[in-house]
Amino acid sequence: MDKERIARELTGIVGNEGIVVDPGELRVYETDGLTVFKAMPEIVVLPRSAEQVAGVVRVCHREKIPFVVRGAGTGLSGGALPIEGGVLIGMNRMNRILELDYENQRAVVEPGMVNAWLTNALAPRGYYYSPDPASQTACSIGGNVGENSGGPRTPKYGVTTNHVLGLEVVLPSGEILKLGGKTLDPLGYDLTGVFVGSEGTFGIATKVVVRIMRKPEAVKTLMGVFETIEDASNTVSGIVARGIIPVAIEMMDNNSIQAVEKGVGAGYPLDAVAVLLVEVDGPRDEVDALVDPIIDVCKENRVREVRVARDDNERLLLWKGRKAAFAAMGQISPEYYVQDSVIPRTKLPSIMSFIGELSRKYGLRVANVFHAGDGNLHPLVLYDSRNEGEMQKAEEMGSEIIKACVGMGGSLTGEHGIGLEKRDFMPLMYTGDDLDAMRKVKKVFDPDGLFNPGKIFPTATTGAETGPAGQREILQKVLGSA
Amino acid sequence: MLSDDALVQRLKDLLGQEHVLAGPSASSYAVDGAAPRAVVVPGSVEQVSAIMALASAEALKVVPRGSGTKMALGGIPERVDLVLVLSRLSGLVDYEPGDMTATFRAGTRLKEAQAVLGRHGQFIALDPAYADLATLGGILATNSSGPRRLRYGASRDLLIASRVVHADGKVTKGGAKVVKNVAGYDVNKLYIGSLGTLGIIVEATFRLHPVPPVEKTCLAPLDSIDVAKAVVARILDSPLVPSAVELLNPEAARRVAEHAGLPWPPDRYGLAVAIGSVRSEAVDAQLEAVRRLCRETDIPEAHVLDGSVHHDFWRATQDFALGDGRRVVLKASVLLSQVAEAVKRGEEVATQHGLVLGVVSEAASGIIRYHLAARDAASPEHFEPGVAEAVTRLRAFTQEVEGNLIILEAPPEIKRRVDVWGLLGTAGPLMQRPKAEFDPQRLLNPGRFVGGI
C-alpha cells in the first residue's frame, strides 16, 4: 500500500491526534496479551466515533488493505495482531458511557470502555455488570464482545453473550448497522448473538447494549483447604449435585498458592494441595441457607479447613489472591504458558492427574488456577526460555493438554479465544464441514475477507491436523518471529 | 421435475413405505392451506440428510416440523413440496448429571426430556406454551420461551451445542458439550429462532439447571394497570430474585384462575410472582417481601399459591388460549418500562374493534402475548380487519419503544392482510445474507421468515 497517501487520507478522517505512523509509537501495537507473537501494523488509527470508524473502514475496503480492531490489547490468543500488516483500528478513545437506563435494566456504552468502569458507574444505584474477566480493570467491553469473555462468575450468571443484547456495528464494507437492542427477541436471525465471540473478524462494534443487574442482597465466600486435588474436584461436583449453583467455584493448586502468597498474601495455607473458593449470592435468607450444605459437602470430601469470610474485607482478600494469580506467577517462574481448555466437569479428577503426569514427563512445573465450576482449566506451564528448548517443551505440553481436553469431550478454549494461537487446533474439534459452516457466517459479515485475516480458521487443509510443531513453523513463516 | 408418483417412490425407497405419506393423508399437514406433495418421517440423521440431498437435487421446498404446535407461525409459504416430520428422531443421546448437560434428538418432546432429567433433579429451564407436545427442535427453531426466562434466560442462553442438517444435506455441529466454549463462531445462535430457514436442527445439547425443590407464587388481584406498573418497577429495583413475574389482564386472569380452581374478583388484573429456592424458608422470606411491596403499593391482598395450585396456575398461564374458535396470538417485545402502556394500547384497540383480548405478559422481561378472539363468533368479516388493524397499531407502538410485534398464530386470511413479522431495521439487507450463504436454493421454509426469507 501507498502508506503516505493512505495515512494522509486517514488523517483527514480521524485528525492528526488520531493517527500513528511513527515506527517507535507503532511498537505499542505489535503485540497483545499473548506476548510471544509480534506483528507490526503499518498505520494505527484511533477513531472517536462510529462515523470515523466507518470512514477508515471504507478507505481500507476501497484500497483492499487488511485491517484489524483492537480494544485494550489484553487478549490472550493474538486476536488483535495485524499479521498481514495494514491498518489497526484502536478503540480505546471511544470509551464513554452513553446511557445508564436503570428503569429498563440496560446500559449503552462505547466499546473502548474499560469493563470495571461500568460496574463502578452503576454501583451508587446498587447495580452492576456481571461478566468480570480477570483483566477487568484493563480490558474493554468491546474486547469482551469480541472474545465472548467469561470470568469467575459464569456458573451462575453466564458469559458476555448472555449480557449483550444489542450492538451498533461497522461492517467491513463501511456500513453502520444496528443489531438487536434494549428489548429481547429482536426480529430475524440473532446476529448479535453470533457477533459476540467472533474475535474481531465480523465487524467493529461501536455501541454495546448490555443488561445490568441489581446487586444481590447478600454475598458469602467460602474457602476450603484440601489435601488432594481429587477431594477438591469431588467437592465441586458434590455442591452442584445438591442443586446449588454458586456464583463462582475457583480452584488453585499448591504452585498457585505459593505464587499468590509470595505475591499478595491472601492468607491461603502454604501447605495446602488445593484451595477452593466458593461464592454464593442472592437474597439474604437464601444465601444463609446455602452455606451449611456447602460446608457439609466439603466435610464429606475430607476438607482440612473451611473458612467463611466474615465481612467484605475478608471476602475481598480471598478474591484478591485469585484475581492476582496470573500476575503473581513471576514470584515462582520467569515465564508461563497458559492454556484455556474446557472439560466436562466430571472429568476434573482425571484431567488433573493427567496434567500431573505431563508435568513429570516434561520436567516442567504447572500451576493450576481455574474456573472449576464450569470445567474451564487454566494450567500455567512454568518455564524459563533461557534454558534451551524449554519454551518449546512448554508449548508441546500445552498442546497435549488441549488434545486431552478435546478428547474428553471438551473445548479448545473457554474464554481466551482461538485467534492466531489456536487456529490450527480447530480441526481437533470441528470437521471440515463444521468449519465451512463457520466460513459461511464469516462471509455474511465480511465477504471480501479483509477484516482481521488469518485468525480462527486453520491454515492447513481442513480435516488435516497440524499440531504444535507445524503450527510454529507456519507462524514463523507468517510472522518472521515468535 | 419429478412427478408426484416418482417423488413418492424415491422417498419410499429412502425411508421405507410406512414413513412416507402422500395424497389425502398428507393434506392434514398443510401449512397455511398449502398441502405438501409428500410428508416424510425420517428415522435417522442420515435419512434427514438423504432427504435434503434429494430436495437439493430436485429443488424441493421443505417445511420441517416437530409436533406441529407452531405451524401457524410464519408467513404463508411460497410452496410446500415436503413436510419433514422429526417425531421419530427422538430420545436421549447423552446425559451426565454431574456435568449438568444433556443431548437429545431434536424430535424429543420437552416433556419427555424433563421426565428423564427430573430423575436427577435437573431440567431444561424452558417453559414455553404447549409444553406437553412441543419438541426441543421446534422450541429452538421458533425461540419459544415462557415465564421463567426471567430467571433462566431463553434458548440462546441454554443451548450449548447443536447438530444441523443443511439444505444440501451436509451435517454439521456447532458448539461443544461443555457450558463454556469460545472455540470458533457461536453458530448455534443463528439457528435459534430461525424457523428452520438455515438448516434442520436434529440434535441439541443444553446446559441444565437443578429443579428448585421449592417454588411458590404470590398472586395479587390489582385494580388497575397503573398499580401493576408501579409494583413491577419496585420488584425489579429490589434484590428479590423471582423466577417469573407475570401480568395478566382481567380476561386472562379470570380464565387462568378458573383453570387453577381459584376464585377471581371481576375486572381485576392479576400479578403473579414465582419464587424458587433450595430451602422453603428462603422462598417464604422472599414471598413475604413481595407481599410487603404489594402493601406499600396499596394492593390490598396477595395470596400465596403452593403445591398443585401453584403448578396448575403456571400451566394455565403458559398454555393460555382463548377457546378453540377463530383466534390470533400476537407476541410483542418492549422495554420493561413500557409493558403497562403496551397492555393499555392492546385493550383500547380490542375495545374499538369488538375483540376479546386476553393478555399474558412476562412483565419483568418485556414480553407480551395478546390473545385475540371474535366477541361475536357470527361475524368473521369484522374479525379479520379488526385484527389486522390491531396488529398495525400495536406494532407501530412497539417500534416506537424499541421493540417489535409478531404474529405467533393466525389463520392465513389474517396473514394476507398484514405482515406476520414487521419490518427489519437497518439490519434488513444483512439479514438476507445468512439465508443466501446457508440455503442459496431457498429450499427450507421459503417465504415463512421475516423479510420474505
Shortest Cα distance, chain B CAs vs residue A124, angstroms: 13
d(CA A283, CA B238): 10
pLDDT for the residue A354: 95
Question: From A457, which residue of chain B is nearest by alpha-carbon distance?
Answer: B184
Pull the grid cell for residue A215: 446487586
Say if residue A465's pLDDT is above 50: no
Residue A297: name the closest of A260, A358, A330, A249 by CA: A249
Q: Are residues A283 and B192, on separate chains, in Cβ contact within 8 Å?
A: no
Shortest Cα distance, chain A CAs vs residue B219, angstroms: 20
Q: Are residues B178 and A415, on separate chains, in Cβ contact within 8 Å?
A: no
Question: From B398, which residue of chain A is nearest by alpha-carbon distance?
Answer: A183
pLDDT for the residue A472: 54
Region B362-380: mean pLDDT is 88
- pTM listed for this prediction: 0.96
pLDDT for the residue B1: 83
Q: Are residues A430 and B282, on separate chains, in Cβ contact within 8 Å?
A: no
Q: State the fold for domain A97-214.
A: 3.30.465
What residues in B contact A105, CB-CB < 8 Å? 236, 336
Q: Are residues A243 and B183, on separate chains, in Cβ contact within 8 Å?
A: no
pLDDT for the residue B219: 98
Tell me the residue type at A152. Answer: P
Q: Are residues B182 and A162, on separate chains, in Cβ contact within 8 Å?
A: no
Question: From B196, which residue of chain A is nearest by alpha-carbon distance?
Answer: A189
pLDDT for the residue B375: 83
Size of interface A-B (CB pairs under 8 A): 260
pLDDT for the residue A463: 38
Nearest to B99 among A150, A175, A346 (CB): A346
B118 in contact with A at a CB cutoff of 8 Å?
A: no
Give the confidence band of B100 by pLDDT, cuts at 50, 70, 90. Answer: very high
Q: Are residues A189 and B183, on separate chains, in Cβ contact within 8 Å?
A: no
pLDDT for the residue A476: 55
Q: Which of A107-111, A330-334, A457-461, B71-75 has the lowest mean pLDDT?
A: A457-461
pLDDT for the residue A467: 46
B window 70-89, beta carbon within 8 A of A: none
Say if residue A474's pLDDT is above 80: no
Say if residue A481's pLDDT is above 50: no
What residues in B contact A193, CB-CB < 8 Å? 156, 186, 189-190, 192
CATH for A217-326 is 3.30.70.2190
Question: For residue B17, how many C-alpha atoms fall within 13 Å in the half-sphere facing its CB?
Answer: 0
Give the confidence band of A475 by pLDDT, cuts at 50, 70, 90. Answer: low
Is A219 within 8 Å of A318 (Cβ atoms)? no
Domains and their CATH numbers in chain B: 4-85 (3.30.43.10), 92-210 (3.30.465.10), 214-315 (3.30.70.2190), 327-417 (3.30.70.1130)
What's CA B236's distance to the chain center, in Å? 24
Say if residue B318's pLDDT is above 90: yes
pLDDT for the residue A268: 95
What residues in A contact B213, CB-CB < 8 Å? 243
What residues in A contact B419, CB-CB < 8 Å? none
Which of A160, A185, A342, A445 would you mutate first to test chain B, the one with the most B CBs within 10 A? A185
- State the distance between the two ends of chain B, measured CA to CA, in whole angstroms: 24
Give the confidence band of B323 by pLDDT, cuts at 50, 70, 90. Answer: confident
Alpha-carbon Rg for chain A, nearest whole angstrom, is: 23
Region A233-240: mean pLDDT is 92
Say if residue A459's pLDDT is above 90: no
Query: Which residues in chain A are classed under CATH 3.30.465.10?
Result: 97-214
B334 in contact with A at a CB cutoff of 8 Å?
A: yes
* B186 vs B380: which has the higher pLDDT: B186
Say if residue B81's pLDDT is above 70: yes
The DSSP element (H or E) to which B58 belongs, if any, is: helix B45-58
Does the domain at A3-90 match CATH 3.30.43.10? Answer given as yes
pLDDT for the residue A225: 97
Say if residue B341's pLDDT is above 50: yes
pLDDT for the residue A477: 53
Residue A152: name the closest of A303, A278, A298 by CA: A278
The DSSP element (H or E) to which B104 belongs, if any, is: strand B101-105
DSSP line for A249-279: EEEEEHHHHHHHHHHT-----TT-SEEEEEE
Give the confidence band of B393 by pLDDT, cuts at 50, 70, 90. Answer: very high
Say if residue A185's pLDDT is above 60: yes
Nearest to B427 among A104, A188, A433 (CB): A188
The DSSP element (H or E) to which B280 belongs, if any, is: helix B280-296
Residue B274: name the closest of B143, B341, B367, B362 by CA: B362
- Per the prediction, chain B carries an average pLDDT of 96
Q: Are residues A241 and B240, on separate chains, in Cβ contact within 8 Å?
A: no
d(CA A152, CA A249): 7
Q: Are residues A415 and B451, on separate chains, in Cβ contact within 8 Å?
A: no
How many CB atoms are located within 10 Å of the residue B1 CB?
7
Region A355-374: mean pLDDT is 96
pLDDT for the residue A473: 56
What residues in B contact A436, CB-CB < 8 Å? 170, 172
Region B234-261: mean pLDDT is 97
Shortest Cα distance, chain B CAs vs residue A300, angstroms: 17
Give the confidence band of B382 by pLDDT, cuts at 50, 70, 90. Answer: confident
Say if residue A214's pLDDT is above 70: yes
- Per the prediction, chain A carries an average pLDDT of 93
Say if residue A294's pLDDT is above 90: yes
B430 in contact with A at a CB cutoff of 8 Å?
A: yes
Shortest Cα distance, chain A CAs vs residue B379, angstroms: 33
Give the confidence band of B381 by pLDDT, cuts at 50, 70, 90. Answer: confident
Percent of chain B with pLDDT over 70: 99
Please enumerate in sequence order all residues whose Cβ is within 8 A of that of A191, keeping only pairs 6 or more positions apart, or say none: A179, A180, B427, B430, B431
Give the confidence band of A1 by pLDDT, cuts at 50, 70, 90. Answer: confident
Q: Are residues A214 and B190, on separate chains, in Cβ contact within 8 Å?
A: no
Give the confidence band of A241 by pLDDT, cuts at 50, 70, 90. Answer: confident
Question: From A441, which residue of chain B is nearest by alpha-carbon distance?
Answer: B434
Nearest to B210 among A216, A245, A426 (CB): A245
Is A56 within 8 Å of A19 (Cβ atoms)? no
pLDDT for the residue A460: 60
Q: Are residues A103 and B336, on separate chains, in Cβ contact within 8 Å?
A: yes
Q: Are residues B426 and A177, on separate chains, in Cβ contact within 8 Å?
A: yes
B369 in contact with A at a CB cutoff of 8 Å?
A: no
Residue A368: name the closest of A326, A332, A402 by CA: A326
A299-324 residue pLDDT tens: 999 999 999 999 999 999 999 999 88
d(CA B106, CA A425): 29
Shortest Cα distance, chain B CAs vs residue A436, angstroms: 9
d(CA A413, CA A372): 14
pLDDT for the residue B378: 61
Say if residue B281's pLDDT is above 50: yes
Say if residue A431's pLDDT is above 50: yes
pLDDT for the residue A466: 45
Pull the grid cell for residue B10: 424415491
